Amino acid sequence: MAIIPSMFGLGAWVVVNGSPAKEYEDPNEAEDLQNLDRQHYDLPPTFFPATFPIPHVIKYIEAIPGAEFALRLHVAPHYQPRAHHLGVSSEIHGTGDYIRTQIKHMFPGEHVYLSADIVTGNPQTGFKKNLFMFTALDIVDNDTASLHQEFPSSGQYGVLRVLVFNMNISQAYVLTGVPNNLPEPKFKTALSETALKGMTIDTAPAFKSQSMISFEPTLQYLNDFQDPLRRPIAIFEFRYRTKEGLYKEGVSPRPATIEAEVAQMTNREVRQKLAEYMAKERANVILVEPAAVKKEDSSGLAGVKREGSPAVLGKHKARRLQDGRVQVDLTEDASCVD
């Protein structure tokens, strides 16, 4: 969860395929933007100059092509508001266009904000809900004319944001009817190397269409921002890249391979490493005593001849002859003498 220390009680994160995405620190982030004192920008708005920096935290997440994603903001019960309520919006930046969702008003007791889809269409063709998802970005030749027009917007590509505003109590409501047209934002899923300007962006936002929906007239609050310039009091930013993109930007260390490790060693270091490995392998060898063979008792088996034990072999049948000699009978018999 991304947090801003001065905004104790607020936290934002990205959900990818139903689970919170693992977050990585921005190696180039300026920590002073996270540690701004609330009194400098929160109240009153007249003390919030137009050029004053806004509390801002940046995290990186792994984007998986084909995975659905959503943005969440949690407002803890102990959060101390300095306005009537909070307004929350989200931004999804892409080439050529970007989405900024309508302000959602969060009152006491409403602790989770979710942005996971966008509605597009018109009364003639109908309206449909589109879930946010990631898709792979194609890199094309530099001489593609249509992509040259996207240079200015590619600088904000690969960015998701959650914006938090201080809101006054709404003095009026408006009855919303059926919109005439809700066009689908046009994201480019291909960029040239020149348009990327050396950035390692490799993923684009896209949509997964769901079932058709109907619009019903509803009462909607009119937005009354506490700041006349409508600036947010906090920005939670998430930059999405594939795992390879995280490696290239130095956000996540690339796992070391044996080949890469050996390539940086001298011959002496290689021999020493090999000796350590062999010693470790020998230490892990466990000598196993051969299992004793259990003798089976065949005394109760019919037709099995019993071999005599050494003690039994020491017994035999004998008789004394007239001349005094002893005759020994080696054939088995029930009667025998010692």
- Is the Cβ–Cβ distance between 312 and 333 less than 8 Å? no
Give me the mean pLDDT over the 120-137 stretch.
84
Confidence band, pLDDT 50/70/90 cuts, at residue 12: very high
- Scanning the chain, the segments in alpha helix (DSSP H) are 145-148, 151-154, 193-196, 243-248, 258-263, 267-283, 310-313
Amino acid at 176: T
For the stretch 52-55, contacts whose Cβ atoms lie closer than 8 Å and that sit 24 or more positions apart, written own/partner, are 54/231, 54/232, 54/233, 54/234, 54/235, 55/4, 55/6, 55/7, 55/233, 55/234, 55/235
Give percent of the chain with pLDDT exceeding 90: 11
The pLDDT value given to residue 313 = 46
Tokens of 19: 């689970």
Q: Which of 102, 82, 110, 125 is nearest to 234 (CA)?
A: 82
- Is the Cβ–Cβ distance between 91 and 153 less than 8 Å? no
The pLDDT value given to residue 33 = 58
Give me the mean pLDDT over the 266-293 stretch.
71
- Is the Cβ–Cβ distance between 184 and 207 less than 8 Å? yes
**Cα dihedral 297, 300, 304, 305 in deg (nearest 10):** 80
Confidence band, pLDDT 50/70/90 cuts, at residue 212: confident
Mean pLDDT of the chain: 74
- Does pLDDT of 133 surpass 70? yes
The pLDDT value given to residue 142 = 61
Amino acid at 217: P
Q: Give the separation between CA 169 and CA 176, rounded to whole angstroms.
A: 19
The pLDDT value given to residue 147 = 46
pLDDT, tens digit (0-9, with 9 covering 90-100), for 159-208 = 899 999 988 888 777 777 677 777 777 777 777 776 666 667 788 888 88
- Does pLDDT of 304 surpass 90? no
